[in-house]
Amino acid sequence: MSTRPWSRRQVLNTATGGGALLGASALLGTGTAEAHGRTTERDRHHGHGRREKIIAIEEAVILPGLITQGTALNGAIPFKPEVTADWFKRLPDITEYRLADMDANGVTMQVLSLTPPGVQMQPDAAIAVRDAKVANDALAEIIAAHPTRFGGLAALPLQDPKAAVREAERAIRELGMGGFLVNGHTNGQYLDEPQFRQVWAALEDLGAAIYLHPTPAPAGDWDILKNRPELVGPLYSWAAETGGHALRVIVGGVFDDFPKAKLILGHMGEFLPFHASRLDVQIQNINTKVPLKRKPSEYLRRNIAITTSGVMDDTMLHAAITVMGIDNVIFAIDYPFEKTAQAVGFLRGAKLSSAQRAKIAHGNAERLLHL
């Protein structure tokens, strides 16, 4: 992966709407060869031993100056305090905990992206544009310091679609990012809406995928969640909301307009692979606003890839492979929210052929994200 080696002075001297960005030196680990952009012996040889190369693509990082009000860790979800404390310890880190965790479990590469809410909840479009640039520059510097260990999914400031197109082109062509991650809706706006067609056109032209990640930002009152905060977040609502967002993209005709566009969903597809046959049946009974050229299940196989993040079950994996196709299933951990040892153990123990395991472990990610 080719990246532009941004200087620490550039990163440290850039401020965001939420406050000064944590210096890249703090993220990278000052005083080390890695922090100064030199590839270490571990970097050169990691992943070339006996174990299968493993690339994980939904791996969160915090840049503290970019934390917008409403972050998933400070919301209404009743996470245990000791759990969130561990997450907050690990999210801003690169060298102390993260690399050690990767090495201990044989993970070759993490593809990093901003933890929710990223830039999606920033109400000021100009600040969102600036924050995305700062975040993407910081990610590029991390990648440049650890070129064999980290890739990046860039932030997109969709509050300003024209600026998002410019940032998309810069992130791919100048910074060498592998694609993009969007944390759910952007202040109540969804990716099927007309203003985002120019963004989809740019992404198709760049050959870059969007990872659609859950968001802690509520989309409105949902009575089924009333007095049941346990259902908010990873236990239920995030999968339903993110799967619904992806369905909006399908029924909105985005993939008919941009047939080479690619959307990535985590958590074994946010329910959708297991609902595919019903989608195909019921779409025939509905007058859709946009006439579709294909069945919903065909868009799932042609335009959507899914990851294994947080769903470590052999039955679910094989069902997803059957629905999506082996080329559309990718390994992810969801670090630090899931345990690396458990995720890697699931991958290594899954009942797969060696060719299937290689595609899920690294081949599909390398192809889709140009790693």
DSSP 309-367: TT---HHHHHHHHHHH-GGGEE----TTTS-HHHHHHHHHHSS--HHHHHIIIIIHHHH
> Which pair of tokens denotes residue 163?
């600026």
The Cα–Cα gap between 250 and 49 comes to 42
DSSP 88-99: HHHTT-STTTHH
Enumerate the active-site residues. 334
Query: Are 272 and 298 within 8 A, CB to CB?
Result: no
The Cα–Cα gap between 342 and 316 comes to 16
Q: Degrees (nearest 5) of the Cα angle 143, 149, 152? A: 45
Q: Quick one: which of 237, 217, 224 has its CA closest to 72?
A: 217
Q: Which amino acid is at 27?
A: L
The Cα–Cα gap between 171 and 193 comes to 23
368: Cβ–Cβ under 8 A, 6 or more apart, which residues?
179, 209, 262, 264, 305, 330
What are the Cα distances from residue 20, in Å, to 16, 31, 57, 116, 317? Answer: 6, 22, 27, 18, 42
The DSSP 8-state label assigned to residue 215 in this structure reads -
